[in-house]
């Protein structure tokens, strides 16, 4: 089963998206911060990092760069509700508000392109 590390600082989005992604057949580990994500990455097997770009005082983009550097086997998918600078992002991006079905499609597409599935 594909394991997603879901990083989102809005608790309600985090909880509901985790439930919806689990219903879609993924194993989901949730965290509200980039620091929490790095701790999880150090101890758990993760296939996909699905992170918000704005994480309060932290940056999901920096987290993505760190994951790309330290865990190149992990696929990265980002999300944001912030329109500025979205074109500069090198990873697959889904704009908020999105349906979980759209997120699932993008995650699966990314995994397929990387040859993970």
List residues binding other proteins (CB under 8 A).
10, 12-13, 16-17, 19-20, 23, 54, 81-84, 95-100
Q: How far is the CB of 45 from other proteins (least distance, A)?
A: 26
Q: How far is the CB of 52 from other proteins (least distance, A)?
A: 9
As a whole number of angstroms, the distance between CA 95 and CA 23 comes to: 21
When the beta carbons of 74 and 107 are compared against other proteins, the nearer one is 107
Per the listing, tokens 């760069």 go with 65
As a whole number of angstroms, the distance between CA 78 and CA 6 comes to: 10
Contacts 24+ apart (CB under 8 A), 31-36: 31/5, 31/6, 31/7, 32/7, 32/8, 33/7, 33/9, 33/58, 34/7, 34/58, 34/59, 34/60, 34/62, 34/63, 36/7
Q: How far is the CB of 15 from other proteins (least distance, A)?
A: 8
Q: How far is the CB of 46 from other proteins (least distance, A)?
A: 22
When the beta carbons of 70 and 81 are compared against other proteins, the nearer one is 81
When the beta carbons of 25 and 97 are compared against other proteins, the nearer one is 97
When the beta carbons of 85 and 90 are compared against other proteins, the nearer one is 85
């Amino acid at each position: 089963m594909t394991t997603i590390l879901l990083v989102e600082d809005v608790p309600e989005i985090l909880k509901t998206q985790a439930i919806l992604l689990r219903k879609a057949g993924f194993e989901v580990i949730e965290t509200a911060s980039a620091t929490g994500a790095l701790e999880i990455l150090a101890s758990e097997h993760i296939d996909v990092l699905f992170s918000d770009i704005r994480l309060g005082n932290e940056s999901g983009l920096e987290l993505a760069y760190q994951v790309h550097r330290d865990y190149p086997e992990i696929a990265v998918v980002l999300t944001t509700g912030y329109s500025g600078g979205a074109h500069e992002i090198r990873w697959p991006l889904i704009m908020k508000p999105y349906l979980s079905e759209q997120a699932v499609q993008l995650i699966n597409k990314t995994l397929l392109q990387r040859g993970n599935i």
